[in-house]
C-alpha cells in the first residue's frame, strides 16, 4: 500500500512514517519547510519528501492519505483531497487500526514527562531483551531513534498525547491506542487552544481509561486530585500507585543522586544514575511499575535505569565556554519550568542560574498561564524572556508587564540578537544558562555559545 503523509516532519508523523515503511508500505510525504533531523532519518529510509502542500500531489495517487494535526481546512492539498473524494485518515487512527492491534501496548500519558518516561520504559524493555517497538516524541541516546517497528515483536511503547487527533477528529490522540498498560503520569491544565478547562481534559483521560481491559494495568501517582477524579468516573483495571503513599516509592536521594526504590514497603534496590530532580524519580517509579506488568522484575528494571542516559532536550548540556554551561530544555509549561529550575538548583547549589525563556506553546502564546510565570521562575537568578511582536510566534501579552514581580532580575526582548548579547554580557564563569522552549528558538543555543566565546 502507498501512503502519502501530510505533515511528515513532525516527530509523531515522522515516526509513524518510519513504522509504516518498516511494516512494508511505500511511503511518501510532504511538509512545510522540510527540515532535519527528521528529514534526514526519513531520506535514509528511502522515503521521498515533498516541500509544501501543493494540490499537484494528487498526481501521486496513493492508496491512502495519512493526515497530521498540523493540517487544517484551507490547506491546498487537503482541500484537493476532499474535492477528489480520495481516502484519508488521521495518523493516530491509522496506527491504531493497522499497527497496534494484537500487541501489548504500553502507553505513557500525562501533562509532563511523557517523552522521558516513555524512553525510560522502552529502555528497560530493551535491556531486558524484549526489543520493544516504540514511537516516542524525542530521541534517547540509548535508543538512538524515536521510532522502531518489527512486526514480529508483540510489545509497543507509545507516547500518548492528549492533544487532538486531526482537524476532523477532535478526540485526543491516545483514544486510538487501546493500551493494555497505561501510565497516567500527572494531569494539569494545558492546551488552552483546544481545551476550555481542566474538566475537558479529564474527560479525554476518562475515555482513555475506558479502553483499558480488565487484565490491564493503570499506573498513576498516589496523590493527584485530577487523576483521582478521572478514575472515580469509572475504572475497570488494576491500578498501581507510585510516589509517597503508593505501592512504588522512592527514598531520599543521597549527595550523588542515588535513591532506594521500595515496592510494597520492601526495598528492591538502589537506583544510581546521572539524572536529578524529584520529577525524574517519579518518572522512574512509573516506568518500573509499567515494565513489571510486561514481565520485567524491579531489580532488572533498576539495573537498566542505572545505565539510562536521558533524553535530548531534557536538561541537555549543549556546551561549556569559559566555565559557563549552556543547557537546552523542552520546558514550556509553568510547572515544567519550575521543576526544571528546581532540579538544576539542587544540582548546582549556590551557583547562578540564568533562565532564557521562549513562551512558544499555544497555551503560553494565548497568555493562559502567563500569570504563573513569575512564581515558576523564582529559582533563577536572572531571567531573559523572548517574545516576538509579529508573526506566527507573536505573544498576546506583554512579557515585561507579566515578569514585573521579578524586578531587575527579569528582562524581556523582541529581538533575538539583543537577547543573546544581553545574556553573554551578564554571564560570568561558574554560571548555568538554561534555555527553555518547545521549539528551535532560532538556534539560540549555538548563538549563545558563540557569543560567550567572544
Q: Please give the annotated binding residues for ATP, written as ranges.
A: 110-116
Phi and psi dihedrals of 376, rounded to 5?
-70, -20
Burial of 389 (0-12, 13-18, 19+ CB in 10 A): exposed
CA distance 36 to 59: 26
CA distance 436 to 248: 31
Burial of 393 (0-12, 13-18, 19+ CB in 10 A): middle
At 251, which helix (H) or strand (E)? none
Residue whose C-alpha cell is 528582562? 411
**Residues 310, 275: contact at Cβ < 8 Å?**
yes
Whose CA is closest to 288, among 301, 307, 272? Answer: 301
DSSP secondary structure letter of residue 388 = B
Cell of 412: 524581556
CA distance 384 to 376: 14
**Residues 85, 64: contact at Cβ < 8 Å?**
no
Whose CA is closest to 296, among 217, 236, 208? Answer: 217
CA distance 419 to 423: 6
SS (H, E, C) 73-121: CCCHHHHHHHHHCCCEEEHHHHHHHHCCCCCEEEEEECCCCHHHHHHHH
Burial of 370 (0-12, 13-18, 19+ CB in 10 A): buried
Phi and psi dihedrals of 124, rounded to 5?
-60, -45
* Residue list, annotated binding site: 110-116
CA distance 412 to 139: 31
CA distance 17 to 5: 7
Amino acid at each position: 500500500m502507498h501512503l502519502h503523509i501530510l505533515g511528515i516532519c513532525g516527530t509523531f508523523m515522522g515516526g509513524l512514517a518510519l513504522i509504516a515503511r518498516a511494516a512494508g508500505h511505500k511511503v511518501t510525504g510532504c511538509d512545510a519547510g522540510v527540515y532535519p533531523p527528521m528529514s534526514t532519518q526519513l531520506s535514509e529510509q528511502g522515503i521521498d519528501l515533498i516541500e509544501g502542500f501543493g494540490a499537484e500531489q494528487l498526481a501521486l495517487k496513493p492508496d491512502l492519505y495519512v493526515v497530521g494535526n498540523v493540517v487544517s481546512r484551507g490547506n491546498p492539498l487537503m482541500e484537493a483531497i476532499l474535492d477528489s473524494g480520495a481516502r484519508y485518515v488521521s495518523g493516530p487512527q491509522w496506527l491504531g487500526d493497522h499497527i497496534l492491534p494484537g500487541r501489548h501496548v504500553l502507553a505513557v500519558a500525562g501533562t509532563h514527562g511523557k517523552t522521558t518516561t516513555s524512553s525510560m520504559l522502552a529502555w528497560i524493555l530493551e535491556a531486558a531483551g524484549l526489543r520493544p517497538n516504540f514511537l516516542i516524541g524525542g530521541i534517547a541516546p540509548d535508543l538512538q531513534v524515536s521510532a522502531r517497528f518489527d512486526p514480529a515483536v508483540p510489545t509497543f511503547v507509545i507516547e500518548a498525547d492528549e492533544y487532538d487527533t486531526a482537524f476532523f477528529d477532535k478526540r485526543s490522540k491516545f483514544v486510538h491506542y487501546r493500551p493494555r498498560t497505561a501510565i497516567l503520569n500527572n494531569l494539569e491544565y494545558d492546551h488552552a487552544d483546544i481545551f476550555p478547562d481542566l474538566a475537558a481534559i479529564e474527560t479525554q483521560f476518562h475515555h482513555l481509561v475506558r479502553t483499558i481491559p480488565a487484565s490491564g494495568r493503570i499506573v498513576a501517582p498516589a496523590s493527584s486530585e485530577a487523576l483521582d477524579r478521572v478514575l472515580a468516573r469509572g475504572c475497570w483495571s488494576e491500578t498501581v500507585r507510585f510516589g509517597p503513599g503508593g505501592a512504588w516509592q522512592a527514598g531520599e536521594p543521597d549527595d550523588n543522586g542515588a535513591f532506594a526504590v521500595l515496592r510494597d514497603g520492601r526495598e528492591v534496590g538502589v537506583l544510581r544514575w546521572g539524572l536529578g530532580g524529584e520529577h525524574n524519580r517519579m518518572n522512574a517509579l512509573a516506568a518500573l511499575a509499567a515494565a513489571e506488568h510486561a514481565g520485567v522484575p524491579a531489580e532488572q528494571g533498576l539495573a537498566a535505569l542505572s545505565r539510562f542516559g536521558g533524553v535530548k532536550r531534557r536538561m541537555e548540556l549543549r556546551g561549556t565556554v569559559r566555565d559557563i554551561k549552556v543547557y537546552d530544555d523542552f520546558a514550556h509549561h509553568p510547572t515544567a519550568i519550575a521543576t526544571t529550575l528546581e532540579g538544576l538548583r539542587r544540582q548546582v547549589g549556590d551557583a547562578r542560574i540564568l533562565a532564557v525563556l521562549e513562551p512558544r506553546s499555544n497555551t503560553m502564546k494565548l497568555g493562559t498561564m502567563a500569570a504563573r510565570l513569575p512564581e515558576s521562575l523564582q529559582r533563577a537568578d536572572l531571567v531573559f524572556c523572548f517574545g516576538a511582536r509579529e508573526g506566527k510566534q507573536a505573544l498576546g501579552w506583554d512579557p515585561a508587564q507579566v515578569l514585573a514581580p521579578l524586578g531587575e532580575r527579569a528582562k524581556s526582548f523582541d529581538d533575538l540578537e539583543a537577547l543573546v548579547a544581553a545574556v553573554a554580557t551578564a554571564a560570568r564563569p561558574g554560571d548555568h544558562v538554561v534555555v527553555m522552549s518547545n521549539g528551535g528558538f532560532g538556534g539560540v543555543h549555538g548563538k549563545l555559545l558563540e557569543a560567550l566565546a567572544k
